[in-house]
Amino acid sequence: MCKDIDGVLYDTATSTVDKKFTYGVPGDSCGYEETLYITNDGRYFIYTNGGTKSKYPFENVTPISRDDVKNWMLSH
């Protein structure tokens, strides 16, 4: 997924996966995934996607500050 947010391009194809959390099993309508990426220039973002009944029924990209990465990881 590729998304431009405030003039910054966040692209899962060209960024590196740092950490991934998966809930449920493939095909589970309530299952979802949250993946932390880091871009080549050091920006972090979270890619989310899930089943139709999950908290992420559509794929999305959300930037996250370096300071908030630790809190995000601890919440899982």
Per residue in 5-60, pLDDT tens?
999 999 999 999 999 999 998 889 999 999 999 999 999 999 999 999 999 999 99
Q: Name which of 71, 13, 75, 24 is nearest 47 in CA terms.
A: 13
Handedness of CA 13, 14, 15, 17 (dihedral sign): positive
CB 15 within 8 A of CB 39: yes
pLDDT score at 76: 85
Beta strands 16-23 and 32-38: pairing type?
antiparallel
